[in-house]
């Protein structure tokens, strides 16, 4: 029977093709097999040429058998394609999981420049004999103002643009409430502390941020006088900056110290001469931009602790002490020559990774 013979030929050709397809190793090989099997001159098509020898009844039977064979070959091609794709993916994954491969390099994080400068200042104060102390950032009016000789309705409260939580609770405007808490906790002198942390004021421009960092020193002991304050601050600034740093005191006013002083140091840009070595650091009049040609820049506030403060914490009447406070951002800006305080808080990795 001719039909039977042709169908057997078809079957043999089909199983032959499927075996070859299953053994194929590349997609190129697969494509040439596809052409060879079901293209116009393909081996399955070739069997259909025997159609003429068949009776009209048998022809559709051979056609149906050929279609089925072609479907199975197509399936085999589809499977082989997936198999090759999976193998390629697995090979790629194997390479990615090769733990012995050298890495592309990791970028390590570092502490924020403000934290670095804070640590630097505190470590200088450690060496001068101050002990570190912290306190809450949300503070009672008593610790932030009242005990520091800012009576209610005193105009000095307007010096500090305060964020109020409610009538008697504020975001601390300075680190001085730490002094009060420490003195009350210890109950008696002596007291040698460096209070530090975040403080808040309603103020924002290129040199002020609503949140910034302060560090202050408090030294309370019998016989402490203005000379100790001057010597300590001079040693502090000479260590923090350079041994050549010039220091001068100007009379000022703070509610919690009497007498009070603003402390200036020689300009870090021009070394105190008023004219910077680098012409780009000078203004159009040829004067240093940083100090405007004066040779001095303001760096901290200081003074002898007001007796009213000791009264608020029940320290003996004859006790003496000095205190000074410094802005961490201010020091960082001077040390690194940064003119806009906001750069510290924009979290720009390109800026922060320079320190």
Nearest to Zn ion of 163, 296 (CB atom): 296
Q: Which part of the chain contacts Zn ion (CB under 5 A), choosing from 44-52, 66-74, 128-136, 261-269?
A: 261-269
Q: How far is the CB of 297 from Zn ion (least distance, A)?
A: 7
Nearest to Zn ion of 73, 290 (CB atom): 290
Nearest to Zn ion of 20, 273 (CB atom): 273
On the question of a cis peptide bond just before residue 66, with omega within 30 degrees of 0, the verdict is no
Question: How many C-beta atoms lie closer than 10 Å to residue 81's C-beta?
Answer: 16
Q: How far is the CB of 298 from Zn ion (least distance, A)?
A: 12
269 binds Zn ion (CB under 5 A): yes
Nearest to Zn ion of 269, 309 (CB atom): 269
Burial of 174 (C-beta count, 10 Å sphere; 0-12/13-18/19+):
buried
Count of residues near Zn ion by CB under 5 A:
6
Nearest to Zn ion of 108, 280 (CB atom): 280
Among positions 270-299, residues that touch Zn ion (CB under 5 A) are 270, 288, 290-291
Q: Which part of the chain contacts Zn ion (CB under 5 A), choosing from 90-98, 145-153, 163-171, 265-273?
A: 265-273
> CA Rg, the chain, in Å?
42
319 binds Zn ion (CB under 5 A): no
Instruction: Please tell me the distance from the alpha carbon of residue 171 to that of residue 231, in angstroms, as a whole number.
Output: 33
Q: Which part of the chain contacts Zn ion (CB under 5 A), choosing from 2-10, 242-250, 260-268, 315-323?
A: 260-268
Q: Which part of the chain contacts Zn ion (CB under 5 A), choosing from 72-80, 130-138, 142-150, 266-274?
A: 266-274
Longest CA pairwise span in the chain (Å): 131
> Could you give the C-alpha distances from 136 to 62, 141, 163, 211, in angstroms and in order?
92, 12, 15, 14
Q: Is 326 helix (H, G, I), strand (E, B) or coil?
A: strand
Q: How far is the CB of 264 from Zn ion (least distance, A)?
A: 11
Nearest to Zn ion of 253, 336 (CB atom): 336
Q: Which part of the chain contacts Zn ion (CB under 5 A), choosing from 72-80, 145-153, 242-250, 269-277?
A: 269-277
Look at residues 60, 65, 53 and name the one whose alpha carbon lies nearest to residue 14.
Answer: 65
Nearest to Zn ion of 61, 292 (CB atom): 292
Phi–psi pair at 62, nearest 5 degrees = -65, -40
Q: Dihedral sign for Cα 338, 343, 344, 349, please.
A: negative
Q: How far is the CB of 267 from Zn ion (least distance, A)?
A: 3
Instruction: Find the Cα–Cα–Cα–Cα dihedral 342, 348, 354, 355, rounded to 10°.
Output: 60
Residue 342 in contact with residue 211, Cβ under 8 Å? no
- Positions touching Zn ion (CB under 5 A) are 267, 269-270, 288, 290-291
């Amino acid at each position: 029977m001719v039909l039977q013979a042709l169908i057997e030929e078809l079957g043999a050709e089909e199983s032959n093709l499927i075996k070859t397809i299953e053994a194929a190793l590349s997609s190129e090989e697969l494509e040439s097999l596809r052409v060879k099997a079901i293209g116009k001159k393909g081996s399955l098509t070739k069997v259909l040429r025997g159609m003429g020898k068949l009776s009209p009844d048998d022809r559709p039977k051979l056609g149906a058998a050929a279609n089925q064979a072609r479907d199975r070959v197509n399936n085999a091609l589809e499977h082989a394609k997936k198999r090759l794709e999976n193998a390629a993916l697995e090979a790629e994954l194997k390479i990615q999981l090769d733990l012995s491969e050298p890495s592309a390099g990791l970028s390590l994080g570092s502490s924020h420049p403000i934290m670095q400068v804070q640590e630097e200042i505190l470590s200088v104060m450690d060496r001068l004999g101050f002990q570190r102390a912290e306190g809450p950032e949300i503070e009672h009016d008593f610790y932030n103002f009242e005990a520091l000789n800012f009576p209610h309705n005193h105009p000095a409260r307007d010096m500090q643009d305060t964020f109020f939580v409610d009538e008697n609770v504020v975001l601390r405007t300075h680190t001085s409430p730490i002094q009060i808490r420490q003195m009350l906790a210890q109950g008696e002198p002596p007291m040698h502390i460096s209070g530090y942390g975040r403080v808040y004021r309603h103020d924002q421009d290129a040199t002020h941020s609503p949140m910034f960092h302060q560090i202050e020193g408090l030294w309370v002991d019998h016989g402490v006088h203005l000379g100790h304050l001057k010597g300590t601050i001079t040693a502090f600034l000479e260590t923090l900056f350079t041994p050549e740093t010039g220091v001068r005191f100007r009379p000022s006013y703070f509610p919690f110290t009497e007498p009070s002083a603003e402390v200036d140091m020689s300009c870090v840009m021009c070394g105190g001469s008023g004219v910077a070595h680098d012409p780009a650091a000078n203004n159009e009049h040829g004067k240093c931009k940083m100090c405007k040609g004066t040779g001095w820049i303001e760096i901290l506030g200081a003074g002898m602790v007001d007796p009213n403060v000791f009264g608020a914490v029940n320290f003996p009447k004859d006790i003496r002490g000095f205190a000074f406070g410094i802005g961490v951002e201010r020091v960082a800006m001077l040390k690194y020559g940064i003119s806009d305080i906001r750069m510290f808080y924009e979290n720009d990795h390109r800026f922060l990774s320079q320190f």
